Amino acid sequence: MSEQIDTAELGEKIVNVLKTIYDPEIPVDIYELGLIYDVFVNEDYDVKILMTLTTPNCPVAETLPLEVEEKVKSLNAVNNAEVEITFDPPWTQELMSEEAKLELGML
């Protein structure tokens, strides 16, 4: 029998992967930037990530979601990963973590 992975633990691993993906225009990872709105993991270890981009015409609008899917799918426990892009609510600087604001000299 394969070892069961707790979905909360898997969620943490997913967040760690997300923290390795950077917006090419800002030296802060997409998680700290507040671009990730939600991460869902079901009992089949299918992952759905609800995320946004800094602007609808962001230069990485095509490639960033694919990079997120590929990196999350590379986790052994993940069966499948899907990224859904939303602009509701639109991203604002308030969504950034304190760490990101500090990094960008906004504090």
pLDDT in tens, the chain (107 residues): 345 678 889 999 999 999 999 988 888 999 999 999 999 999 899 999 999 999 888 888 889 999 999 999 999 999 999 999 999 999 999 999 999 999 999 98
The answer as to whether 103 is a domain residue is no
The answer as to whether 1 is a domain residue is no
Q: Name the domain count of the chain.
A: 1
Give the CATH number of the domain where residue 15 resides: 3.30.300.130
The answer as to whether 101 is a domain residue is no
The 3-state secondary structure of 10-40 reads: HHHHHHHHHCCCECCCCCCECCCCCCEEEEE
In which domain, by residue range, is 37 found? 7-88
Q: What is the model's pLDDT at position 97? A: 96
Q: What is the model's pLDDT at position 8? A: 85
Q: What digits encode the pLDDT tens for the residues 6-20?
A: 888 999 999 999 999
The answer as to whether 97 is a domain residue is no
pTM for this entry: 0.90
The answer as to whether 65 is a domain residue is yes
